[in-house]
Amino acid sequence: MRHVETGKPGGDLASFADHTRPVTIAAIAASAGVSIPTVSKVINGRSGVAADTRARVEAAINQHGYRRTAPVTRSNMMELVFDRIADMWGLEIIRGVERAARQHRVGVVLTEFGPQRNAIRYWIEDTLARRPDCLVMVAQLDTEQRQQLRARGIPVVVFDPTVELPEDVPFVGATNWAGGRSATRHLIELGHRRIAMIGGPEHVLCCRARLDGHRSALDAAGLPVESELVVHAGLTHEDGRAAALGLLRRPDPPTAIFACNDLQALGVYQAAREVGLRIPTDLSVVGFDDLPMAALVDPALTTVHQPLLEMASTATELALALGRGERTSQVRLELATTLTVRESTAPPVR
């Protein structure tokens, strides 16, 4: 991705490589072969620039690292973007973002991409027109969108990333590995030896971390990681039920199941009922997330609490600080999870 200048050495363009000197709009304009007002229009999200010209200017900005030196006029608006907010934990995130933003008297514009991916087509255009101070993303941006935002100096903080991010992308997540470890350690301390884990999809980063934490707890206790007791499944109630039925119908079923999230755990509840097992007497169950409903189900679910509200507030504070042009030393954060022991776990009978 390094850019080697071929023309005009020593001139305006050479200064792009010199990070001690700010790159001027004039230099960007020269590089892109457009007028200074055109560059200004692109940077300020105004209309009246042809798509290919806009792309050329953005490419020049991203190549040469132009950054605004003075804070621009703030819109006192920020964007919170979800891929899907169907899951119940979305609400906690929304509340956390909204509360933090309100402290700064910043309005939160909420978007859900949803299943119709063509809705995203307009999204970036509308977002740029609103000129937000920053974005908190519970969704993935494509490379072009990231460049469009970067070209305008609009910072993006990723909430609980599902994939490995480039090192310069700020994010706020939770200590998924430590959380997974604490869940399985709790079951081991109760006396369980055959502990199954319903992992999430293999490509989802936080699920992978929870599973590795589970394995690490088994290792630390000198217990073998039995491959037949680790199954991968989607993150819904039904996925959890199906995976649990497979585990519980084995000739040597587990005495405890650690599910990758609370919805899966409730699917385990249903599966246990279907095969005639009582929780926690015959089967211990641990979830992950600590959704509000975890405390309301019967028996109340032992689960790893993910501090969604605090994570969302932290992501917002970070995004707003970056939007104000502040330099913050730490832009990649993981907040601590904590095990919440309720009524779904007990020592094994066998």
What does the binding site for a copy of itself look like in residue numbers (CB under 8 A)?
Answer: 76-77, 80, 85-86, 88, 90-91, 94-95, 98-99, 102, 105, 107-112, 114, 119, 122, 126, 129-130, 237, 263, 266, 269-270, 273, 292-293, 296-298
Least distance in angstroms from the C-beta of 109 to a copy of itself: 4
Question: Given the complex with a copy of itself, which of 145 and 175 has the nearer CB atom?
Answer: 145
295-311: buried (b, 16+ CB within 10 Å) or exposed (e) per residue?
A: eebebebbbbbbbbbbb
Cβ at position 347, least distance to a copy of itself in Å: 22
Beta carbon of residue 85, minimum distance to a copy of itself (angstroms, whole number): 6
Q: What is the 3 state secondary structure string of 187-221?
A: HHHHCCCCEEEEECCCCCHHHHHHHHHHHHHHHHC
Sequence-distant (≥ 6) Cβ neighbours of residue 325 within 8 angstroms: 68, 71
CB-nearer residue toward a copy of itself: 176 or 313: 313
* Cα angle: 261, vertex 95, 102; to 5 degrees: 155
Q: How far is the CB of 70 from a copy of itself (least distance, A)?
A: 22
Interatomic CA distance for residues 240 and 233, integer angstroms: 7
Please say which residue, 247 or 268, places its beta carbon nearer to a copy of itself: 268
Token readout for 245 is 């039925």
Q: Which is nearer to a copy of itself, 117 or 327 (CB)?
A: 117
DSSP string, 101-170: HHHTT-EEEEEE--S-TTHHHHHHHHHHHH--SEEEEESPPPHHHHHHHHHTT--EEEES-SS---TT--
C-beta closer to a copy of itself: residue 245 or 333: 245
DSSP letter (8 states) at residue 13: G
Nearer to a copy of itself, 256 or 266 (CB): 266
Considering the complex, state which of residue 77 and residue 225 has its C-beta at the smaller distance from a copy of itself.
Answer: 77
Shortest gap between Cβ of 342 and a copy of itself (angstroms)?
13
The CA distances from residue 261 to 85, 105, 164, 281, in Å, are 16, 34, 20, 21
Please, what is the minimum distance in Å from the beta carbon of residue 207 to a copy of itself? 20
Q: How far is the CB of 188 from a copy of itself (least distance, A)?
A: 27
Asked whether the beta carbons of 192 and 256 are under 8 A apart, the reply is yes
